[in-house]
Amino acid sequence: MPEITEETVKKISRLANLRLDADETARFTEHLEKVLEYMRKLNQLDTTGIPQTAHALPKQNVWREDQVLPGLDRSEALAGAPDVRDDCFRVPRIIE
Amino acid sequence: MDQDYEIVIGLEVHVELATDSKIFCPCPTAFGAPPNTQVCPVCLGLPGTLPVLNRQVLVLAIRAALALEATPAEHTKFDRKNYFYPDLPKAYQISQFDQPLALRGIIEITTPAGPKRIRITRVHMEEDAGKLLHPGADGRLGTAGSSLVDYNRTGVPLIEIVSEPDLRSADEAYAYLIALKEILQYAGVSDCNMEEGSLRCDANISVRLRGDQVLGTKAELKNMNSFKHIRSAIEYEARRQIRVLQEGGQVVQESRLWDEEKGVSYPMRSKEEAHDYRYFPEPDLPVITISAEMCEAISQSLPELPQARRQRFRQKYTLNEYNAGVLTSSRELADFFESMVDCQAPAQAACNWLTVELLGKLNAEGRRITQSPVGPEHLAELVRMIESGKISGKIGKQVFAEMYQSGRTPEDIVAKQGLSQISDPGVLEKVVDEVLAAHPGPIAEYRNGKTQTMGFLVGRVMQASQGKANPKLVNQILKERLDR
Ligand SMILES: [Zn+2]
């Protein structure tokens, strides 16, 4: 029984700020179900005794010292902004 | 507040850590820089960049956890909290979800019913978001429909401290925040500067009928940054919920904001689905293992914390609870006091001069103890001069005012202005005799049994000596002369 329905895809796309048309919704429903299918296959592996990990790399404790370095000039920082005003990124009004 | 209902409060406090650089990039964290001048490709969330953890963030976060008696995790990791908001350039915040830095702490607060232990659920690390500005009110065209974003704060390191729903009133919440702030300041984790937004608080509030075991539906008051506002906001919100229930309604689970000017809370307009954060492990940051040695070293470097210091002040210096509380309200103030004691000032007198005279002046000018023009050595010297009788208490106040103004030493002021107390009996006898010669009336009254006249004559002698006469000796000499 498939776990991914069109409703799931609609919810996920809404959360991801993506607008999908009916065709795309159907296509991604199928794709995501295939991804889960693969996960179900992985789930069959016996992982008893293998510690849980959040990362594939055997690295840990990677850090830097608390040292300030100069960042971007403001003009550079704002170069990618869709719109600029008063040295700030200008975006559609946010209401709270 | 309606006595049939019990208020249940849990607090989530965000505190900025006192680092020089941001949590995942080397941009400065200094407050007050012009907009978008403390940013780089990492904190702007530009493609192809990678975060690297600032080790000092971990150290300070562990310090905070240990100071709050929480247990740091052996293994901890970062997660992505996903949501879209313009103050969040990556469309996710790097935070911690299921393996937070530390669990299970305690803060002891003082309530009218005695001390109460408030449990802390967890302490975790995360990055701050940017700052949204909403222009338009100034009437300028073209700005009304837009918001402006300054990303200087983006990536500033925070810890979030989450309490259990153990608080039962706005006053308890207030006491919790004061205690938390004191501990974090003592531990050197944060300056907790409210004006600069270094400490912000969300409050989960629900009400239930007394005796009910199940918690009521909660509302969350978001993003408050003044302890006083938090107290009034909680009081208002609890009253609002009680009214809803009494009128037969139901409390809606929602996020609300506090409007201090109007004195009301109101629901946030953002959509609820924004709270589906879809946390997952941050793939760009390897996991962290906190060794016992690291914890031990940090624990060793923690100073004596407010609660312990308060207790010690009461015992060692026999101060009352109130004075011990005032003196230990900040580490700097407590250090100032102990420096005075180290300079041989008697504890009680040192406490009085420090809390009444010096703090009185500093508070009136909105200055902090660290900005005092009078240092602990000099204030201790003044106290010693008074205690040893070199100058009178009254002259002491005069000298203190001069010290505060000029920064000069009390010794210097007393010597240059000839303020030393006159304790030479020969000199005092002369002044007393002059005063007596000028006041035959009062002498007669005294000898007729109206002994209160003595006070009047002492006053005259003090006046004649410009306050410098040793009052004890003056009394003695006067009595001798009058009773003769
Ligand atoms: Zn940066």
The ipTM value here is 0.90
Q: Does B105 fall in a domain? A: yes
Written as tens digits, the pLDDT of chain B (484 aa) is: 578 999 999 999 999 999 999 999 999 999 999 999 999 999 999 999 999 999 999 999 999 999 999 999 999 999 999 988 899 999 999 999 999 999 999 999 989 898 999 999 999 999 999 998 876 655 444 446 788 999 999 999 999 999 999 999 999 999 999 999 999 999 999 998 888 889 999 999 999 999 888 889 999 998 888 898 999 999 999 999 999 999 999 999 988 999 988 999 998 866 555 568 899 999 999 999 999 999 999 999 999 999 999 999 999 999 999 999 999 999 999 999 999 999 999 999 999 999 999 999 999 999 999 999 999 999 999 999 898 888 888 888 988 998 999 988 998 888 887 777 777 888 888 888 888 888 888 888 888 888 788 888 888 888 888 777 888 888 888 888 887 7
- Please give the helix or strand (H or E) that residue B431 lies within, else none: helix B425-438
Q: Are B373 and B367 in contact (CB under 8 A)?
A: no
Note the pLDDT of residue B270.
62
- Is there a single domain that holds both residue B117 and residue B7? yes
Q: Does B364 fall in a domain? A: yes
Note the pLDDT of residue A50.
87
* Candidate from B25, B44, B276 with C-beta closest to A15: B276
CA A71–ligand 1 middle distance (angstroms): 6
Domain-ending residue, one of B268, B297, B326: B297
User: Mutation test of the interface with chain A: which of B22, B27, B29, B36, choosing the one with the most A Cβ atoms within 10 A?
Assistant: B36
* Candidate from A55, A65, A88 with C-beta closest to B148: A88
Helix, strand, coil % in chain A, rounded to nearest 5: 40, 10, 50
Note the pLDDT of residue A53.
81
What gap in Å lies between CA B104 and CA B117, rounded to an integer? 12
- Is there a single domain that holds both residue B156 and residue B244? yes
Domain-ending residue, one of B416, B437, B464: B416
DSSP B353: I
Token couple for B101 = 């830095």
Q: Does B58 fall in a domain? A: yes
**Contact residues for B435 (Cβ-Cβ < 8 A; gap 6+):** B457, B460, B461, B464
- Is there a single domain that holds both residue B211 and residue B268? yes
- Is there a single domain that holds both residue B250 and residue B353? no
- Is there a single domain that holds both residue B367 and residue B409? yes
Note the pLDDT of residue B144.
61
CA B291–ligand 1 middle distance (angstroms): 28
- List chain A residues with CB under 8 Å of B285: 62
- Is there a single domain that holds both residue B198 and residue B293? yes
- Is there a single domain that holds both residue B51 and residue B178? yes
Domain-ending residue, one of B393, B416, B439: B416
Token couple for B431 = 């002044």
DSSP B153: T
- Is there a single domain that holds both residue B412 and residue B283? no
DSSP B451: T
Q: Does B396 fall in a domain? A: yes
**Contact residues for B185 (Cβ-Cβ < 8 A; gap 6+):** B191, B192, B330, B331
CA B25–ligand 1 middle distance (angstroms): 5
- Is there a single domain that holds both residue B238 and residue B259? yes
CB contact under 8 A, A68 and B27: yes
Q: Does B303 fall in a domain? A: no
- Is there a single domain that holds both residue B344 and residue B406? yes
Q: Does B334 fall in a domain? A: yes
CA A73–ligand 1 middle distance (angstroms): 12
Note the pLDDT of residue B271.
53
Note the pLDDT of residue A96.
56
- Is there a single domain that holds both residue B13 and residue B96? yes
CB contact under 8 A, A14 and B44: no
Q: Are B391 and B419 in contact (CB under 8 A)?
A: yes
Token couple for B258 = 């506090």
User: Mutation test of the interface with chain A: which of B54, B268, B287, choosing the one with the most A Cβ atoms within 10 A?
Assistant: B287
CA B34–ligand 1 middle distance (angstroms): 15
* Candidate from A74, A77, A91 with C-beta closest to B146: A91
- Of B37, B40, B35, B130, nearest to B86 (Cα)? B130
Q: Which of residues 247-306 of B touch A (CB under 8 A)?
A: 257, 268-270, 273, 276, 278, 281, 283, 285-289
Token couple for B97 = 């979800």
Domains annotated for chain A, with CATH where assigned, are: 6-43 (1.10.20)
Q: Are B183 and B153 in contact (CB under 8 A)?
A: no
- Is there a single domain that holds both residue B67 and residue B128? yes
Note the pLDDT of residue B139.
44
Q: Does B305 fall in a domain? A: no
| Rounded mean pLDDT for each run of 10 residues along chain A, 96 residues in total | 86 90 94 94 91 83 96 94 92 76
What gap in Å lies between CA B124 and CA B130, rounded to an integer? 19
CATH of the domain at B470: 1.10.10.410
Tally of domains within chain B: 3
> Which domain, by its residues, includes B290?
2-297
What gap in Å lies between CA B45 and CA B41, rounded to an integer? 6
Q: Does B306 fall in a domain? A: no
